[in-house]
Chains A and B, each alone.
Chain A
Amino acid sequence: MKLKKNFDGLDFLQNNLVPLMFIIICAVCIPLSGFSASYLINEIVTRMGRNIFLILSLLIPIMAGMGLNFGMTLGAMAGQVALIFVTDWQIWGIPGVVLAMILSVPVSVLLGLLCGKLMNMAKGREMILGYMMNYFVTGLYQLVVLYFMASIIPIRHASIRLPRGFGIRTTVNLANMRQCLDNEFAILYKGVKIPVLNFIIIGVMCLIIIWFRRTKLGQDMRAVGQDMEVAQAAGINVDRTRIISIIISTVFAGFGQIIYLQNIGNFPTYTAHSQIGMFCIAALLVGGASVEKASIGNVFLGVILFHTMFIVAPRAGVAITGDAMIGEYFRVFVSYGVITLALVMYEIKKRRARSQGGELLAQAQRARREGGAQS
């Protein structure tokens, strides 16, 4: 009985290693950084408001068994393209945000379709393919934004054009859109600004995900995620289901990027999307998700822990070593390290399951053969 209990404890530790590690890191770094509680909470609430939507976009491909969608960056790029147009047309405030979201949909759908089709050609290698797609589509994005915009695609305002006449400037200013969602119905409580509208949008999104899981399509996705061959045999169009899951993820990532950028207030045109995928995936994994399983709870816990670490690490680094750069590098190292750890654990688990499955099959065959010999 005691042995059983010990075993459970170990199991719990193994399954929640990353969140526990992060709680310890945060517990050590928060006092060292010397930030006041209200500042820290304010920062975390703001970051929750702007990041959670992006991270939620990762959940659906995980459900469909396609792993962490490194290709969410494609959606982020679609969002940025939409924002450039909206900035050029000078439609500001919430109407601008809504219009940008609408505009981003066709681009996201197109990119998601491409990504999903390619992933179907590389089953079992979806993650690395999505990761490479980032870079490939970044090239296309640069081609369009740096060369086609204002030369082929009309851009009216000189203020966002490069001085040479075509291409977009390296920073797009969203000053007139800045925090328009955050400030709507915002509540100020003891120095902590709560962006209520953001949280309402996030809440609606969570409800949509919960509802989606119960629909026919959601059930199909879970079946595909469990076993593609069984799903195929049950009459589910596996390839189509997988493509749809990636398209949904890409579209939501586009919305997420628009919410994220309206909070920041400007964005570096050519690099704003490059780190988004990495940070969102790291945050999700920090919340205790794995490559094949993630819940909304993981998203919330992950954002809180990851961003606490992100805020306090540079200051704590200064306090420990006297060099700000070390804290800076440390937080990047931790983000990459967490993803590495999660990927390794996932692959080991997958391999173990596969060899166990093989053994079971061998046993069953042996049993049948022996049974056959007896009769």
Chain B
Amino acid sequence: MHEYASAIALRYWLKKMGYPRLIIAGFLLFLFIMAPVTGSDLATQVTNVINRFSWNAVLVLAMVPMIHSGCGLNFGIPLGVLAGLLGGTLAIELGFTGPMSFVMAIVVSTPFAVLFGGGYGMLLNKIKGGEMMVATYVGLSSVSLMCIMWLLIPYRNPSIVMAYTGVGLRNMFALDSFYAGALSEFLKIDLNPLGINLVIPTGSILFFALLGLAVWAFLHTKTGTAMTAVGSNPTFARASGINVDRIRTLSVILSTWLGAVGVLTYQQGFGFVQLYTAPLNMTMPAVAAVLIGGASVNKASISNVIIGTLLFQGLVTMTPTVITALIHTDVSEVIRIIVSNGMVVYALTRKTEEAA
């Protein structure tokens, strides 16, 4: 009898976890077990995974508000990334250096994020039900418009403009004298002196924890509850006196702002700013991560973000070293493409979110 009950519990648990997530988690576990066998240092691997987690987690968090309010997966995250890039480059242009430039980057990017997010939110209100496709193309067209703007905005700072002509920003520039490591150097735990190759960027993780807590708390306020109501049943929400359009716009602004902060967090860890078409490469990892974490097109939580980012970034960082050592061929890039996009395709074909 007891065995029977536990079998049911197991099946329920399996169903709740979802097969793709289990397969990926199992694969990651396999990689961790194989890592010592192939001769790569486990501590280094763990450091890499934690590092990549701290870079990307905020960007993944940016998916949550829009999923909550029923706007679907935020394929328009490049818009937030652009706000962040504007904030970052303008802060540098204004002459800020060191960690102060990170604070200023967030401050400067905020009005852009509110502006972009507001316009984007109003557009999405006009096309309820078809958000995801339009969001994708809003992202694509805004990034290509900004490609022109990066050339036309008269930036002067010699460390970020093109070295040769002095007009237009570089494709990529280092942040060494600006906000590189602004968070990750804060309270950093480094076990290298003890002979263990483990580095934990405490500051970045704390920053993510802070933002995650803030979003969680926000979703439990009156406005946040209204957002969940709008997402799960817009008709009911309207009947109970909630201004659906306003709440949706608010969620889009929030997502866009988190995208802006997310890309700045990414850059401070990575140490470089990438411009022009680079923002487009930010979308898929973030969308795939939140889906792998167990979110669906209309449901997401902070724990989905944490689990998803760990699993996805674990996969991305572990496969190159471990699989390459195992079969002497680097298939990591292909695995990343198949897993991340396969995950999105899988999520789109789920019947449960038919309600939208």
A-to-B contact residues, CB < 8 Å:
118, 121-122, 124-125, 127-129, 131-133, 135-136, 138-140, 142-143, 146-147, 321, 323, 325-326, 329-330, 332-333, 336-337, 339-340, 343-344, 346-348, 350-351
Contact = CB atoms under 8 A, between A and B. Distances in A.
Contact of B144 (A138, A146, A333): A333
Contacts of B136: 128, 131
A23 to B, nearest CB: 21
Q: Main secondary structure on chain B at its contact with chain A?
A: helix
Given A131-B133, A343-B137, A122 B144 contact: no
Given A340-B134, A347-B134, A142 B337 contact: yes
A330 B138 contact: no
A186 B152 CA distance: 45
A159 B138 CA distance: 42
A361 B236 CA distance: 20
Interface string B158-184: 000000000110000000000000000
* Residue in B133, B134, B167 with the greatest tally of chain A CB atoms within 10 Å: B133
Contact of A127 (B123, B133, B144, B168): B133
Given A139-B337, A325-B151, A147 B329 contact: yes
A122 B297 CA distance: 12
B15 interface: no
A117 B224 CA distance: 37
A333 B134 contact: no
A340 B137 contact: yes
B134 A343 contact: yes
A340 B151 contact: no
Nearest to A142: B334
Contact of A132 (B129, B167, B348): B348
Contacts of B348: 122, 125, 128-129, 132
Interface in B294-336: 329, 331, 333-334
A1 B351 CA distance: 51
Interface stretch (B4-12, B55-63, B338-346): B338-346
A337 B344 CA distance: 24
A118 B345 contact: yes
Contact of B338 (A118, A125, A136): A136
A50 B263 CA distance: 41
Interface in B123-171: 123, 126-130, 132-134, 136-138, 140-141, 144-145, 147-148, 151-152, 167-168
B199 interface: no
B130 A146 contact: no
Q: Main secondary structure on chain A at its contact with chain B?
A: helix
A147 B145 CA distance: 37
Contacts of A330: 148
Interface residues of B, number: 37
B192 interface: no
* Residue in B167, B168, B345, B349 with the greatest tally of chain A CB atoms within 10 Å: B345
A247 to B, nearest CB: 18
B284 interface: yes
B288 to A, nearest CB: 10
B334 A147 contact: yes
Interface in B4-40: none
Contacts of B341: 132, 135-136, 138-139
A295 to B, nearest CB: 22
A348 B127 contact: yes
A94 B127 CA distance: 48
Contacts of A138: 337, 341
* Residue in A132, A321, A337 with the greatest tally of chain B CB atoms within 10 Å: A132
A351 B128 contact: yes
Contact of A143 (B126, B133, B334): B334
B334 A340 contact: no
Contact of B137 (A142, A332, A339): A339
Contact of B129 (A323, A332, A347): A347
Given A333-B145, A348-B127, A351-B128, A135 B134 contact: no
A138 B338 CA distance: 8
A122 B130 CA distance: 13
Contact of A340 (B132, B138, B147, B344): B138
B151 A344 contact: no
B351 A121 contact: yes
Nearest to B130: A347
B349 A146 contact: no
A336 B130 CA distance: 17
Contact of B141 (A124, A127, A133, A336): A336
Contact of B126 (A131, A142, A323, A348): A348
Contacts of A332: 144, 147
Interface string B262-281: 00000000000000000000
Contact of B148 (A128, A326, A343): A326
B57 to A, nearest CB: 23
Nearest to B297: A125
B331 to A, nearest CB: 6
A347 B338 CA distance: 30
